[in-house]
Amino acid sequence: MDYPQWKAPSEDGQVLIWPEPRRVIEDTRRNNQLLKGAGALIQGVAMSELRRHQRQWLGHNQADRPIIATGHQAELYHPGVWVKNVLIQMAADQLQGDAVHVAVDTDEPKHLNVRWPGGNEPLTDDPGLPTAAWSGLLDGPTPAHLKHLEEHLRRSAGAWPFESSMQIWPFLSSMRRLALEPAKLSAALTNAMHQLDWDLGLKHHALVASPVWQSPSYLVFAHHIMARAQAFAADYNAALGAFRSAYRIDNPGRPMPDLKQQDNRCESPFWVDDLELGRRRRAMLHQQQDRWVLPCGGDGFAFDPHKEGWMAAEELAAWLRTHRLRLSPRALMLTTFMRLLVVDQFVHGIGGGRYDQVANDLMARHFGIMPPTFAVTTATLYFPLAVGRSRVCLPCLQQEGHRLRHSILGEEKMAMVRQIEALPRKSMERSALFSTMHRRLDRAVREPAIVEWEQRYRQAQAADLEDQNIFDRELFYALQPRDRLEALIGKYRREFAV
User: Where do the domains of the chain lie?
Assistant: 15-214+334-386+477-495, 394-470
Give the C-alpha distances (Å, rounded to integers) separating 248 from 2, 242, 245, 360, 489.
15, 10, 5, 19, 37
d(CA 495, CA 87): 10
pLDDT higher than 70, residue 445: no
Strands 325-329, 265-274: pairing is antiparallel
In sequence order, what are the residues at sequence separation of 6 or more whose Cβ sits closer than 8 angstroms to the Cβ of residue 256?
A: 240, 330, 331, 332, 355, 358
- Classify 242 in phi/psi space as left (phi over 0), alpha (psi -120 to 50) or beta: alpha
* CA 38 to chain centroid: 30
Question: What rounded mean pLDDT belongs to the chain?
Answer: 93
pLDDT higher than 80, residue 404: no
**Can you say whether the dihedral through the CA atoms of 402, 407, 411, 412 is positive or negative?**
negative
Q: How confident is the model at residue 452 (pLDDT cuts 50, 70, 90)?
A: confident
pLDDT at 417: 82
pLDDT higher than 90, residue 114: yes
Of 192, 206, 191, nearest to 58 by C-alpha is 206
pLDDT at 380: 96
pLDDT at 178: 94
Instruction: Tell me the percentage of the chain whose pLDDT exceeds 70.
Output: 98
pLDDT at 255: 93
Average pLDDT over residues 194-206: 97
Q: What are phi and psi of 375, to 5 degrees?
A: -125, 160
d(CA 471, CA 469): 6
pLDDT higher than 90, residue 498: no
Average pLDDT over residues 390-414: 77
- Continuous segment of H or E residues that includes residue 115: strand 113-116
pLDDT at 454: 81
pTM score = 0.88
pLDDT at 258: 97
pLDDT higher than 90, residue 451: no
Count of CB atoms within 10 A of residue 205's CB?
Answer: 17
Q: Work out the burial of residue 47: count CB atoms within 10 Å of its CB; fewer than 13 is exposed, 13-18 middle, 19 or more buried.
A: buried
Q: How confident is the model at residue 1 (pLDDT cuts 50, 70, 90)?
A: low
- Who has greater pLDDT, 82 or 400? 82
Of 102, 98, 103, 104, nearest to 204 by C-alpha is 98
Cβ–Cβ under 8 Å, residues 359 and 332: yes
Range scoring the smallest mean pLDDT among 63-77, 141-155, 423-437? 423-437
In sequence order, what are the residues at sequence separation of 6 or more whose Cβ sits closer than 8 angstroms to the Cβ of residue 197?
A: 85, 204
Residue type, 269: P
pLDDT at 12: 93
Cβ–Cβ under 8 Å, residues 322 and 329: no
Of 68, 80, 73, nearest to 6 by C-alpha is 80
Give residue-wise pLDDT tens across range 151-174.
999 999 999 999 999 999 999 999
